[in-house]
Amino acid sequence: MQPHMSASDPPATPSDQQPGPFSLTPIGWVSSPYRRRFGTPQQASAIDSDGDAVLRLDPTRIPATALRDLLGVERIWVLSFLHRSGTWGPLVRPPRGPRVQRGLFATRSPDRPNPIGLSAVRLVGIEGVDLHVRGIDLLDGTPILDVKPYVPYADAFPESRAGWIDELSPDELQFAKRPPEPR
């Protein structure tokens, strides 16, 4: 681990940076009612994302004691690998708002250079190493990279501006990327 850098320290040079690739191993997988990208809620706190799911952690890697103090935590962050994301481009057309292209990093598109998902979900129960959650926006089988407690004093910034997203009405309709498949 590198020591804390002060403002007078020189910036990191390319020789100081590890270019990757990096290897991560899932700690578990999502068991979710969502099987396809179309129809899956696009934000974990969206009105339509009240679906229940189970985060099935791998008991060969994660002992139940690792979850011991999560009881009483109302929300958790789930970091995931968006294994079904597509190819990425520098401009995307978000599903809400005017049908204009936006810079990728000003959106929450799942199609990114490193498709890492970040979801804040409600923790409703713990059974062994299975975390029962509500408000999921992840597909069934999504690999879980990490779980962390949501800490309101550190994780919430209600006065923060969100740029072009602030101009959207919360109940504005979402545009579908593809029509649903016939049943």
pLDDT in tens, 145-160: 999 999 999 988 888 8
- What per-residue confidence (pLDDT) applies to 118? 92
Which pLDDT value is given to residue 49? 62
Which residue is listed with tokens 């681990």?
1
Q: Closest by alpha carbon to 106, among 168, 13, 15, 174?
A: 168
The pLDDT assigned to 42 comes to 60
Pick the closest to residue 96 from 180, 179, 178, 169 (CA basis): 169
Q: What is the pLDDT of residue 107?
A: 85
Q: What is the pLDDT of residue 5?
A: 56
* Per-residue model confidence (pLDDT) at position 167: 84
From the CA atom positions of the chain, what is the Rg in Å? 19
Q: Rounded distance, CA 177 to CA 183, Å?
A: 18
Residues of the chain with pLDDT under 50: 1-2
Strands 102-103 and 130-134: unpaired
> What integer pLDDT is reported at residue 1 of this predicted model?
46
Domains and CATH numbers, the chain: 23-86+101-153 (2.40.30.70)
Dihedral class, residue 89 (left if φ above 0, else alpha if ψ from -120 to 50, else beta): beta
* Full-model pTM: 0.78
- pLDDT at site 19: 84
**Rounded to 5, what percent of the chain is helix, strand, coil?**
10, 25, 60
